[in-house]
Amino acid sequence: MSGHKLLKLWSSGRSRWRLHEGISRCGKACYSSCIPKVCIVGSGPAGFYTAQHIIKARQDVDVDIYERLPVPFGLVRFGVAPDHPEVKNVINTFTQTAKHSRCSFYGNVNVGKDVSVDELQQAYHAVVLSYGAEGNRSMGVPGEDLAGVYSAKDFVGWYNGLPNCREKTDITQPALEALAESQVCRVLIVGRRGPMQIACTIKELREMVNLPGTRPEMVATDFEGVAEALKDVPRPRKRLTELMLKTALEKPGEKEQERRNKASRVWGFRFFRSPIEVLADPSQNKIAGIRLAVNKLEGSGEGAQAVLTGEEEDVPCGLVVSSIGYKSLSIDPSVPFDSHKAIVPNIMGRVQQAAGLYCSGWLKTGPTGVIATTMNNSFDTARSLMEDMDSGMLDLSAAKPGSQSISVLLEKRGVKPVTFSDWEKIDNVEMTRGEASGKPREKLLNVEEMLQVART
In order of 327, 366, 373, the CA distances from 339 in angstroms are 10, 11, 23
Q: For residue 51, which of 133, 134, 127 has the smallest C-alpha distance?
A: 127
- The CA distance from 106 to 418, in Å, is 5
pTM higher than 0.95, yes or no? no
- When pLDDT is averaged across residues 144-154 and rounded to a whole number, the result is 87
pLDDT of residue 178: 76
Higher pLDDT, 306 or 137: 306
**DSSP secondary structure string, 433-451?**
HHHHTTSS------HHHHH
- Per-residue pLDDT reduced to its tens digit, 349-377: 999 989 999 999 999 999 888 888 999 99
Q: What is the dihedral of CA 309, 315, 321, 324, to 10 degrees?
A: -10
The string of DSSP codes covering 52-70 is HHHHHH-TT-EEEEE-SSS
Residues of the chain with CATH 3.40.50.720: 4-134+327-418
* Mean pLDDT across 291-310: 91
What is the arithmetic mean of pLDDT over 260-273?
95
- Amino acid at residue number 367: P
Q: Around 406, how many Cα atoms within 13 Å sit in the side-chain half-sphere?
A: 31
Q: What's 4-134+327-418's CATH class?
A: alpha beta
What residues are paired with 358 via a beta bridge? 128, 350
Contact assessment for residue 264 and residue 182, using Cβ atoms and an 8 Å cutoff: no
Note the pLDDT of residue 215. 95
Q: Which residue has the higher pLDDT, 326 or 8?
A: 326
Contact 286/280 with Cβ under 8 angstroms?
yes
